[in-house]
Each structure stands twice: as structure tokens, then as C-alpha cells.
Amino acid sequence: MKGLVFFSLLASIFVLGFLQESVHGRPSLMSLPKPRRDDSAAFARWLVSQNSWGVLSTVSSDWGGAPFGNVVSFSDGLPDKGKGIPYFYLTTLDPTASNALKDQRSSLSLSEYNIGTCGNKDPELPTCAKITLVGKLKLIEGTKEAEIARAALFAKHADMKRWPKSHNFQVYKLDIENIFMINWFGGPKPITVEQYLQAKLNKPALTVA
Amino acid sequence: MKGLVFFSLLASIFVLGFLQESVHGRPSLMSLPKPRRDDSAAFARWLVSQNSWGVLSTVSSDWGGAPFGNVVSFSDGLPDKGKGIPYFYLTTLDPTASNALKDQRSSLSLSEYNIGTCGNKDPELPTCAKITLVGKLKLIEGTKEAEIARAALFAKHADMKRWPKSHNFQVYKLDIENIFMINWFGGPKPITVEQYLQAKLNKPALTVA
């Protein structure tokens, strides 16, 4: 009986500890270790690989060329095997896709906050990392890359397989041209697209709080 | 002793239930009840009042007029007393503010996912609500409204009070011109800015899952 009490109390304490963590911050969704913050290209790739949705901005043809952000899901590859290129599954029933078909200029914005590793930090603080990939949003349906993209999307968003055929969802990619990332004090880190695409994530990295 | 065992087991079961919820979905951060989905204007106001950060898009003067989304914190008023107008605390050290000073066209994008009331739903599904407020991002520092805005910002983002003076953070507002909200099947809901600003949130609303 004493053992049962001890176990129950221990379980309560453990679970209450987790509860406090998840109420104050966010439960961590991280599946790959966070790279060192000075390994900028790997850090950027980690931010993209560990997020699964964000805001995709296009030039609004409806609203006088206004920059139009829209909440979308994305995938940069099979889980923890992403290559850094964001793929999307979009319908022209939604303005983002139809904007992109008229003007490809676009950007995808993500926060470390959604990975759950910012704790209580304000998402605007430079110590809670953020990234914006700026480039061209391109329809790639029908290409070989689209098949890789579709597998990447369905692996992270199983629900997409069931989205209505009548809506004509198609695969798009963001062709990255510029990278804006802040993951510490001192302003955005200079990262070239080449450095970003070549960064390796699959070796265990030193975790930095 | 039996009472203690019973209490401990009960606490474990309760907390494990919550834990499961927070791992599968997100712990709810909702402090006001979710309006009925057909009460579009109130629903939009709820999405804005219950979120505290999002992506603010501007026209990039650095990158050829590209739509540039950026993760920022915001506040539409004192907690649960928001008026629906998003205020920001920005520095021109960050491109968003400097973009806005050259071209005020802007939008703010938010997801219900961050409130924690989407459960396991994919954030791109229409049943996980999303909103984009499109308008003009205006520097209002020095006005009477800026003082109200500053109080609204500091109430939701206590940390902002300590942000370095040398960075010259200033208060901006999004002057809303168009509202794009999807909170169910059937495309975006038509909501005028007037309907949005006049919607009431402070009466208990029927909670719809």
C-alpha cells in the first residue's frame, strides 16, 4: 500500500511538473536537436524542418497589391529528412495560390515559438528565433519534384490526402532567394541560400537553451 | 491512507488526461468563450483578442517589393477588453517598421491554432479558423491613441517595458481596411470593418467546438 501511495504521489509530482511547463510555455514538438545558434544555416534549416505551418505572404491582386499573409501548412520533406525547400498544397479557391499565379513574389514566416522551445519568451524577442524565407512561389504540379513534394506534404499532413478533389489542390514550392533569420541579439544573421541548402541537420547537434 | 491513495490516483488520472490533451493538441489559452461560427464579426474579434502574436506583412523595400512577413507581438487592448485594432511596438532596426514608413500597405495574419482550440486539426483546414486583417500600418507615436496602445501592449507583453531604449521602439497601429476570415467550410466570411469594430465580445457567448 505504501508503495502505491509513493508511486501515485511521484506520478502526480512528475506530471504536474510537465503540466506547469506546458501551461507556462508550450510542449516542445522538437524532434531534432536545436543547433548551436552561431551555426546559422543549420539553425535556419532546423526552424523550417521542425515547423509544419506558417504564414505565406503574396501580393494581393484583390486588394491593391497589399502584402497578403495567409496561414498555410507546409513541408520541407519527410519528417526529419527535410531538404529545406518548403512545399505547399494550395487551391486557387484561396487567394494565395491565385495571387502567386499572377505575381510569384512571396515569403514564408515561421517562429520558434511554435516548436515549443521558446519557453516563456515573448515571440518578438530575438532570443525566440524567427525566420522569413523570401522568394518566388511556383506551381510545380506535374513535375517529378511535385511527386517528392506530395510525399513530403502527406507525411506531415496526413489529412491532405482526404481534401476534396473538386477543390483542385496543387503542389507549389517556394524558390528561396533571400533568408531573414534572427536567433539572437545583434540583428539578422547573414545566410546565403547555398549555405542554407547545404547545411546538414542529421548529425546530433549540441543543444543550446 | 485509503483516502490519500484515492486522491493521488484521481489527481494522476485528471492530470494525465490534461497531459494527453496538451500533447495531441495545444493547451487552450482561451480566456473568452469562442463565439458561434456564424457570428462572423464577433468570431473575428475573438481570434484577434485571444492571439498575442502573429505575422505582420509589409512591402519589402530591400527585396524588390516582395511581400515580407515578420513574426511580431501585438495587442488589441487590455486583456479581454480589446477593441479589435492591433497595436505593435516596433523598431526601424527591424525591416517591418522601416518598410511601413515607406509604404503603409500591410496585413496581420493569425491562426486559431495558437489559441489552442483547434485540437488535432491541420491549421490549413477551414475548421481551424484563420484571419488576415489587411490595411495600413501607421506610426502613431506621440498621439493620445499611442498611450492607450502602449498600455494595451505592456498589459499583454510585460517584457516590452524592458526593451532597450537605444532601439527606439515606437507604437504602430494597423488601420484595418479589409478582413479575410475563414472559420468553416464555404470560403471566407464577408465582414465589413464597421461590423468588426462594433461586434461585442463581453457577453457570455455560446461555445461551439
Q: CA of A105, closest CA in chain B: separation in Å?
A: 5
pLDDT score of B16 more than 80: no
Q: Which helix (H) or strand (E) holds B4?
A: helix B2-24
What's the average model confidence in pLDDT over B173-182?
98
Give the pLDDT band (50/70/90) at residue B31.
confident
Quickly count: other Cβ atoms within 10 Å of residue A203's Cβ.
8
CATH number of A40-198: 2.30.110.10
pLDDT at A10: 44
pLDDT at A11: 46
Could you give the CA distance from residue A46 to residue A44 in angstroms, rounded to a whole number? Answer: 5
pLDDT at A17: 38
Q: CA of B64, closest CA in chain A: separation in Å?
A: 9
CB contact under 8 A, A107 and B67: yes
Pick A8's closest partner by Cβ from B12, B121, B187. Answer: B12
Name the residue ranges covered by the structural domains of chain A.
Answer: 40-198
CB contact under 8 A, A16 and B19: no
pLDDT at B9: 45
pLDDT at A83: 96
Which cell numbers in the block locate residue B43?
A: 468570431
Could you give the CA distance from residue B45 to residue B201 in angstroms, rounded to a whole number? Answer: 7
Low-confidence ranges of chain A (pLDDT < 50): 1, 5-25, 204-205, 209
Could you give the CA distance from residue A42 to residue A189 in angstroms, rounded to a whole number? Answer: 12
pLDDT score of B6 more than 90: no
With CA atoms as reference, the chain A residue closest to B5 would be A5
pLDDT score of B203 more than 60: no
CB contact under 8 A, B71 and A111: yes
CB contact under 8 A, A107 and B68: yes
Residues B128-144 pLDDT 10s: 999 999 999 999 999 99
**φ, ψ of residue B164 in degrees (nearest 5):** -60, 130
- Residue of A68, A92, A128, A182 for testing the chain B interface, max B β-carbons within 10 Å: A68
pLDDT at A72: 98
pLDDT at B201: 82
Q: Contact, B197 vs B42, CB < 8 A?
A: no
- Name the average pLDDT for chain B: 88
pLDDT at B20: 35
Residues in CB range of A63: below 8 A, 6 or more apart: B134, B177, B178
